[in-house]
Amino acid sequence: MERAKLLKEEGNEFVKKGNHKKAVEKYTESLKLSKECATYTNRALCYLNLKQYKEAAQDCTEALKLDPKNVKALYRRAQALKELKVSQKFLKGF
- Taking only the tens place, the pLDDT of each residue in 49-74 is 999 999 999 999 999 999 999 999 99
CA distances from 62 to 13, 35, 48, 56 (A): 23, 9, 15, 10
> What's the pLDDT tens digit per position in 16-49?
999 999 999 999 999 999 999 999 999 999 999 9
Listed residue (33, 55, 35, 32) closest to 43, CA to CA: 55
CATH 1.25.40.10 applies to domain 1-92: yes
State residue 56's pLDDT score. 98
Where do the structural domains in the chain lie, given as residue ranges?
1-92
Can you tell me whether residue 30 is helix, strand or coil?
helix
CA distance 48 to 27: 14
pLDDT of residue 90: 58
